[in-house]
Amino acid sequence: MRVHVDAERPNPRKLQPAVEALKKGQVIVYPTDTGYAFGCAMSSPKGIAAIRKLKGLDERSHKPLTMIVSGLTEVGRFGVLGNTHFRLVRRLLPGPYTLVLQATSEVPKSMHNRHHEVGLRVPDHLVCRMLIGELGEPLLTGSVTPGEATTPELEDAEELENRYVREVAVTVDVGPQWPDPSTVLRMIGDEVEVLREGKGDFRP
């Protein structure tokens, strides 16, 4: 199922099929500020397992899964954010950045890696934020490129719907979304490690 939503003026009613699918533990495709992505409710083990499969990740993978949260308060709820990094993070978010932080006890074990780290994002995208608000909990997310594949991520919602018709319950279509990977910053202790340079400039 594909639902059409205005990216600039989204109608919450049109997002309800996607919200209901998330509440049932199903996977959706939805827009972010770095392109389309898979998403499921954080509380859904079934959805988490499905996204791991779509991404080609097994339980031993060292790569942490990424959570979409509503703002800086939730970043601090799910990740350990020291005073050293707070000012930088406040400047960057919302935006196209993934923060890899030490996971707190609020994060389900199925969502962090063997080092107890978790990826957190606050995208600068109105539809994405509205989805989280309507659902009432964070999303688990993954880009639409499986695993470590080097093929370009798809930008057209109709193509994505056709490609993942069996795996995805609802596709939220806001028009073409050019894929541009987020910048990934690992913030453990006092250090900031750039794991991937992508969209967005994090330097002063």
pLDDT tens sequence across 131-146: 999 999 999 999 887 5
Residue 202 CB neighbour total at 10 angstroms: 16
* Helix, strand, coil percentages for the chain (3-state, nearest 5): 30, 25, 45
Which structural domain, as residue segments, surrounds residue 25?
2-196
The answer as to whether 201 is a domain residue is no
What is the domain count for the chain?
A: 1
Q: What pLDDT digit, counting tens, does each position of 20-74 carry?
A: 999 999 999 999 999 999 999 999 999 988 998 888 876 656 566 799 999 999 9
Please name the residues in contact with 6: beta carbons below 8 A apart, sequence gap of 6 or more. Answer: 174
Please name the residues in contact with 98: beta carbons below 8 A apart, sequence gap of 6 or more. Answer: 66, 119, 120, 121, 182, 183, 184, 185
The span from the CA of 201 to the CA of 197, in Å, is: 9
The answer as to whether 64 is a domain residue is yes
The answer as to whether 61 is a domain residue is yes
pLDDT score for 200: 79
The answer as to whether 203 is a domain residue is no
The answer as to whether 202 is a domain residue is no
- Mean pLDDT value across the chain: 88
Q: Look up the CATH number of the domain holding residue 125.
A: 3.90.870.10
Q: Report the length, in residues, of the chain.
A: 204
The answer as to whether 204 is a domain residue is no
pTM for this prediction: 0.89
Q: 87 in helix, strand or coil?
A: helix
Number of H helices, E strands in the chain: 6, 11
The answer as to whether 180 is a domain residue is yes
The answer as to whether 18 is a domain residue is yes
